[in-house]
């Protein structure tokens, strides 16, 4: 009811965003608020919560959760500025600025892009020059707005840092709300005409909207307002990092904080079951412990090396470090795997044997050929994991090494935590995946490639690799891409995915 009353007040002065015409705006400038305007979500808590958890862990998230009622009281009874200051202090105080920037670049874009308001984006994207004016810290929102939405100018609250760490305080003139937004906008456009369009969602946006030739109000988003589809964005988010699967409301943040110690103990139990029990028994143990394993297709019989039979080379999509374990569970017996990187801890306790690749094509090819003489082998030609429904470009090396090729589509589902990371500790990846209340793995065995489809019949290795990539993508309803392991690490870590020794990490 309160939102309806506020909206009726807005319509006395400004029209709703749905009435804004977009034709002929190519040479015009638009300035928009962020929360509740460019984004459907009116509260900035979910995004502060992501930063708090991804940088500071569960204790920092708990601190933010405890501070949020104070921020809410100050917001509604004192001022919007006071409430935002509390959120900034609780989230940022003591954090390394470089860590905040990293999360803003690699984690937040995924969440922001899934909450874009369709009506605002229709108008915002139609304008030739785009500016966002927000009370949120610039360091938190700028990477998404500039890199994913093509925003030309981001004007936000600036935080104070000392020796590379955020103090939790903000620079003058303070949080950008009300008159501070007006001053910031006038300063930014002092040598240029003011924006033609001003977009906001609340009364505190009125002052800066009055500076524009036209102003439009974005009413509170209802459940029927669907976010802009990913394919309509200027840049799709293919690679992203962070542990959280979904945004956190205060309630889900509390549930997450309470669940983590329980989930960690449950993960340890699940790991013990997978490590100590035979593979045929582990399948049922996983189901009893809430891990759903679905097997589709018919897996081939294990190679009989005693009769001179060469092992089968399983070609799999790659989702987490646990892929070979769940593939072995689906087969009913352990299977050898090759990998670029695996922590020593998991090498020791893993129920299956893994062989490290060197990154040198000739050396790796010779090693894989020898391993196939001893039995079946699984390989991941993407070279790294991908969270989204995409397949990275397949390395063609495997197609040159064997004609016994079985494509396997692997996918998984999580409701709380991702089981992969670039920024964090890879040793914790399996724990985080198994900390989900009911994680799921789906293993789809496709038909073995016919002799006519392999290099033995004269096919080029990259044609074989591309064919298998398409087969697996089709079985999973994924999309094929030309992105590589290097593209992923360049996006998320700023390097090519190798450590100081030159070996893949």
14, 248, 267: which is closest to 123 by C-alpha? 14
| Distances, alpha carbon 392 to alpha carbons 340, 387, 422, 471, 499, in Å | 16, 11, 16, 13, 21
Would you state the CATH architecture of domain 250-297+304-492?
A: 3-Layer(aba) Sandwich (3.40)
First to last CA, the chain: 54
Res. 136: pLDDT tops 80: yes
What's the burial of 99, exposed, middle or buried (CB within 10 Å: 0-12/13-18/19+)? middle
Res. 1: pLDDT tops 50: no
Hey, what CATH topology would domain 2-232 get?
Rossmann fold (3.40.50)
pLDDT category of residue 38 using cuts at 50, 70 and 90: very high
Query: Which string of DSSP letters, residue by residue, matches 318-365?
Result: --STTHHHHHHHHHTS--EEEES---HHHHHH-SS-EEE--S-HHHHH
Domain boundaries, the chain: 2-232, 250-297+304-492
Query: What pLDDT is recorded for position 308?
Result: 62
Query: What pLDDT is recorded for position 5?
Result: 46
Q: Which two tokens stand for residue 78?
A: 């004192």
CB 473, CB 328: distance < 8 Å: no
Residues of the chain with pLDDT > 70: what percent?
93
3-state DSSP call for residue 480? strand
pLDDT category of residue 68 using cuts at 50, 70 and 90: very high
Q: What is the pLDDT of residues 435-457, one digit of tens each?
A: 999 999 999 999 998 888 888 88
The single-letter DSSP state of residue 371 is H
pTM confidence score: 0.90
Indicate the pairing of strand 29-32 with strand 377-379. unpaired
Query: What pLDDT is recorded for position 191?
Result: 85
Average pLDDT over residues 59-77: 93
3-state DSSP call for residue 425? coil
Q: What is the pLDDT of residues 397-444, one digit of tens each?
A: 888 888 889 999 999 999 999 999 998 888 899 999 999 999 999 999
pLDDT category of residue 7 using cuts at 50, 70 and 90: very low
Q: Which two tokens stand for residue 115?
A: 């909450």
Res. 269: pLDDT tops 60: yes
For 221, phi then psi, to 5°, come to -70, 135
CB 145, CB 155: distance < 8 Å: no
Query: What pLDDT is recorded for position 8?
Result: 47
Query: What pLDDT is recorded for position 493?
Result: 85
Query: What pLDDT is recorded for position 494?
Result: 81
Q: What is the pLDDT of residues 274-331, one digit of tens each?
A: 888 888 888 899 999 999 999 999 888 766 665 666 788 999 999 999 999 999 999 8
Q: What is the pLDDT of residues 151-201, one digit of tens each?
A: 999 999 999 999 999 999 999 988 998 888 999 999 998 888 889 999 988
Query: What pLDDT is recorded for position 342?
Result: 66
Residue 137 to residue 208: CA distance in whole angstroms: 18
Query: What pLDDT is recorded for position 117?
Result: 93
Query: What pLDDT is recorded for position 4?
Result: 44
Give the strand order in the sheet containing 313-316: 292-296, 440-445, 405-413, 313-316, 377-379, 336-339, 354-356
Average pLDDT over residues 242-270: 95
- The 3-state secondary structure of 382-397 reads CCCCCCCCEECCCCCH
Indicate the pairing of strand 165-170 with strand 159-162. antiparallel
498, 481, 479, 480: which is closest to 489 by C-alpha? 498
Average pLDDT over residues 10-25: 79
Res. 2: pLDDT tops 50: no
> What is the rounded average pLDDT for all residues in the chain?
88
Average pLDDT over residues 99-114: 95
Q: What is the pLDDT of residues 209-226, one digit of tens each?
A: 999 898 999 988 887 889
Average pLDDT over residues 53-58: 95
Query: Which string of DSSP letters, residue by residue, matches 179-223?
Result: HHHHHHHHHHTTTSPPPSEEEESSGGGHHHHTTSSEEEE-PPP-T
Res. 255: pLDDT tops 60: yes
């Amino acid at each position: 009811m309160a939102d309806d009353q506020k909206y009726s007040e807005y319509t006395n002065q400004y029209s709703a965003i749905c009435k804004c015409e977009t034709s002929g705006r190519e040479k015009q400038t638009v300035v928009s608020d962020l929360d509740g305007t460019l984004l459907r979500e009116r509260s900035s808590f979910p995004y502060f919560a992501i930063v708090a958890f991804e940088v500071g862990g569960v204790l920092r998230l708990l601190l933010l959760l405890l501070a949020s009622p104070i921020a809410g009281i100050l917001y509604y009874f004192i001022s919007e500025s006071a409430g935002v200051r509390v959120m900034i202090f609780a989230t940022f105080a003591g954090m390394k600025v470089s860590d905040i920037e990293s999360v803003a670049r690699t984690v937040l874009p995924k969440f922001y892009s899934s909450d874009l308001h369709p009506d605002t984006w229709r108008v915002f994207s139609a304008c030739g020059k785009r500016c966002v004016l927000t009370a949120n810290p610039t360091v938190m929102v700028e990477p998404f707005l500039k890199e994913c939405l093509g925003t030309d100018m981001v004007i936000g609250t600036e935080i104070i840092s000392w020796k590379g760490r955020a103090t939790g305080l903000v620079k003058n003139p303070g949080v950008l709300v009300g008159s501070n937004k007006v001053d910031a906008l006038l300063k930014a456009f002092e040598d240029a005409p003011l924006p033609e369009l001003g977009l906001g969602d609340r009364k505190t946006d009125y002052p800066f909207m009055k500076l524009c030739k036209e102003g439009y109000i974005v009413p509170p988003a209802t459940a029927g307002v669907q976010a802009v589809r990913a394919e309509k964005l200027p840049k799709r988010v293919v690679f992203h990092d962070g542990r959280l699967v979904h945004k956190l409301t205060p309630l889900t943040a509390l549930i997450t904080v309470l669940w983590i110690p329980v989930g960690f103990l449950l993960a340890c139990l699940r790991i013990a079951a997978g490590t100590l029990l035979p593979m045929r028994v582990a399948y049922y143990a996983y189901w009893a412990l809430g891990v759903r394993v679905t097997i589709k297709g018919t897996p081939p019989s294990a190679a009989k090396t005693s009769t001179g039979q060469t092992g089968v080379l399983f070609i799999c999509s790659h989702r987490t470090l646990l892929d070979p374990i769940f593939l072995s569970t689906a087969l009913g017996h352990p299977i050898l795997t090759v990998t670029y990187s695996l922590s020593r801890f998991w090498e020791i306790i893993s129920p299956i044997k893994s062989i490290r690749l060197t990154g040198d094509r000739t050396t790796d090819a010779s090693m894989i050929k020898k391993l196939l003489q001893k039995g079946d082998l699984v390989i991941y030609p993407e070279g790294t994991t991908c969270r989204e429904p995409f397949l990275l470009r397949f390395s063609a090396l495997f197609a040159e090494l064997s004609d016994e090729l079985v494509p396997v589509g692997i996918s998984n589902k999580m409701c709380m935590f991702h089981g992969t990371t670039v920024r964090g500790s890879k040793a914790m990846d399996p724990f985080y995946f198994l900390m989900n209340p009911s994680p799921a793995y789906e293993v789809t065995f496709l038909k073995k490639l016919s002799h006519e489809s392999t290099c033995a019949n004269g096919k080029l290795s990259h044609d074989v690799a591309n064919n298998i990539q398409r087969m697996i993508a089709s079985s999973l309803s994924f999309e094929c891409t030309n992105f590589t392991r290097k593209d992923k690490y360049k996006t998320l870590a700023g390097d090519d995915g190798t450590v100081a020794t030159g070996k893949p990490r």
